[in-house]
């Protein structure tokens, strides 16, 4: 059931206005919802975020069940979001082929992207590269292109030539292969699938909303995806996992014997960051008031990956857990009324690092997964057919001609 409750920010205190300013009064009376919390702008069959109970439903499936390591692939998530149900074997294969064909076509375009992939930032690079596609490209082609451009950008940064896609592989295995230049094991491909499925959609998040706003104007799918990539780039949305890894490195730099953090060192580092007025990346969420369920899914994926690699639990996972505990305690002391717990980005950083992806590629890899949701929302928004056009409250000056005579 869609929650139709409209909650709004407390109306802002309005300064006393002169008679010349009263022309804006009708707007002042409307409530201000600057972050749009609780404002319902669409009905969707795609996903629901239950922030109180910490649940994410993806088209009728609980995320912990869907992405819990049971072999659901990125292509399955695309089938679910684009078609409304998990695909059967034949449909799964046809989606796999269509997305692989998208990778092959995108790879053929690499020489015609100008300096798009020269950008220093991976999100700038994929945004510019996707912008070279034109008009209403089908979702499978867009998904294949985002993965190909992201991997080619990573190769360029490493000073290596791009790796051509292998159309016989599913996206997860081929993406790891193209980005790293080395084939992925089945366990690695499976856990990248876990990640991509987990992040494939998430309610009316900022990038999805952006895609829907652009679509609502009647614009094309590529314009909507390009705008969504721009929204996802921000550190408050998809740009957090790189900085999460920087944080873990900074704490590890103060490590004690055997790479384990010295007692209290995570706490001290967190306190120093907060004292400097900085946010702890990977912590807090606009909707969740408990731990983000996706953090648990990804934490288990890291454990599985480490078990199949035959090694002991990595120092990094242990460190991440310790930093999470320290951050949660410090944030709860500072904000006793506002639960700020680990979000998806926290363990994204550890998982993608364990999969051998460079940290600069973390945000683009988020886009590789989220593009499945964007494409589904673009289709849904088109069907809704309603221009999204909210209002603003004017607090600027009044034109001279409109001012009443003294
Ligand atoms: N570290 C430190 N303080 C934080 C914090 C964090 N990660 N997240 C929120 N806070 C603080 C805010 O500074 C604010 O404090 P104040 O009331 O003293 O000003 C208070 O908690 C409420 O935060 P608010 O900005 O209202 O929360 P939000 O719903 O707008 O923000 C996020 C949600 C995700 C943007 C925010 O938690 C954040 O910046 N997290 C870090 C970035 C991140 O991990 N992004 C990925 C999201 S999936």
- If you write DSSP's letter for every residue of 35-95 in order, what string do you get? T-TT------SSEEEETTTTEEEETTEEHHHHTSSS---HHHHHHHHHHSS---HHHHHHH
**Cα–Cα distance measured from residue 183 to residue 185, given in angstroms and rounded to the nearest whole number:** 7
Give yes or no: 285 in active site: yes
Q: What is the pLDDT of residue 70?
A: 86
Pocket-forming residues, ligand 1, beta carbon under 6 Å: 35, 236, 240, 279-286, 331, 335, 338, 340, 343-345
pLDDT (0 to 100) of residue 258: 55
List of residues 6+ apart from 290 with CB closer than 8 A: 51, 52, 53, 54, 339, 341
- For residue 28, the model assigns a pLDDT of 57
Q: What is the pLDDT of residue 315?
A: 79
Q: Token pair for residue 320?
A: 């991440």
Q: Is 377 a catalytic residue?
A: no
Ligand 1 centroid – CA 168 distance (Å):
43
Residue of the CA atom closest to atom 3 of ligand 1? 279
For residue 285, report the distance from its CA to the centre of ligand 1, in Å.
Answer: 7
> Residue 378's pLDDT is what?
98
Residue to substitute in 273, 284, 362 for testing ligand 1 pocket (most ligand atoms within 8 angstroms of CB): 284
What is the number of H-type helices and E-type strands within the chain?
Answer: 16, 3
What are the average pLDDT values for consecutive 10-residue runs of the chain, which has 406 residues? 33 38 51 89 96 97 94 97 97 98 98 97 98 91 98 98 98 98 96 98 98 98 98 92 92 70 84 96 95 97 87 76 96 96 96 96 98 98 96 93 69
Catalytic residue among 61, 202, 237, 285: 285
How many angstroms separate the alpha carbon of residue 284 from the centre of ligand 1? 5
Q: What is the pLDDT of residue 31?
A: 83
Q: How far is the CA of 281 from the centre of ligand 1 (A)?
A: 9
Between β-strands 55-58 and 61-62, what pairing exists: parallel, antiparallel or unpaired? antiparallel
- Residue 3, pLDDT score: 36
């Amino acid at each position: 059931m869609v929650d139709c409750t409209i909650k709004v920010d407390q109306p802002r205190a309005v300064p006393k206005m002169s008679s010349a300013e009263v022309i804006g009064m009708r707007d002042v009376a409307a409530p201000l919802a600057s972050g749009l919390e609780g404002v319902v702008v669409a009905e969707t069959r795609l996903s629901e975020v239950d922030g109180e109970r910490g649940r994410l439903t993806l088209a009728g499936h609980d995320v912990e069940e869907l992405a819990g390591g049971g072999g659901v692939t990125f292509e399955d998530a695309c089938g679910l979001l684009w078609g409304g149900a998990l695909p059967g074997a034949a449909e799964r294969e046809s989606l796999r082929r269509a997305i692989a064909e998208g990778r092959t076509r995108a790879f053929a375009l690499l020489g015609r992207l100008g300096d798009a992939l020269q950008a220093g930032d991976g999100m700038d690079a994929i945004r510019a590269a996707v912008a070279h596609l034109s008009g209403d490209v089908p979702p499978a082609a867009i998904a294949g292109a985002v993965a190909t451009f992201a991997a080619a950008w990573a190769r360029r940064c490493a000073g290596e030539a791009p790796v051509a896609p292998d159309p016989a592989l599913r996206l997860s295995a081929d993406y790891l292969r193209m980005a790293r230049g080395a084939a992925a094991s089945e366990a690695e491909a499976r856990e990248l699938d876990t990640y991509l499925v987990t992040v494939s959609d998430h309610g009316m998040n900022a990038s999805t909303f952006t895609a829907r706003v652009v679509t609502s104007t009647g614009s094309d799918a590529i314009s909507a995806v390009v705008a969504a990539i721009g929204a996802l780039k921000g550190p408050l949305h998809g740009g957090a996992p790189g900085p999460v890894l920087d944080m873990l490195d900074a704490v590890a730099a103060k490590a004690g014997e055997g790479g384990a953090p010295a007692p209290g060192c995570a706490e001290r580092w967190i306190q120093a960051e907060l004292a400097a007025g900085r946010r702890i990346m990977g912590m807090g969420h606009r909707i969740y008031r408990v731990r983000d369920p996706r953090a648990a899914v990804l934490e288990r994926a890291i454990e599985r990956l480490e078990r199949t690699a035959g090694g002991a639990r990595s120092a990094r996972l242990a460190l991440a857990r310790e930093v999470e505990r320290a951050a949660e305690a410090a944030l709860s002391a500072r904000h006793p009324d506002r639960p700020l717990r680990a979000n998806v980005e926290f363990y994204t950083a550890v998982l993608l690092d364990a999969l051998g992806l460079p940290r600069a590629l973390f945000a683009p890899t988020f886009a590789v997964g989220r593009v499945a949701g964007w494409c589904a929302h673009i289709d849904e928004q088109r069907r809704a057919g309603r221009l999204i056009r909210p209002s603003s409250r004017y607090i600027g000056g009044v034109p001279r001609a409109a001012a009443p005579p003294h």
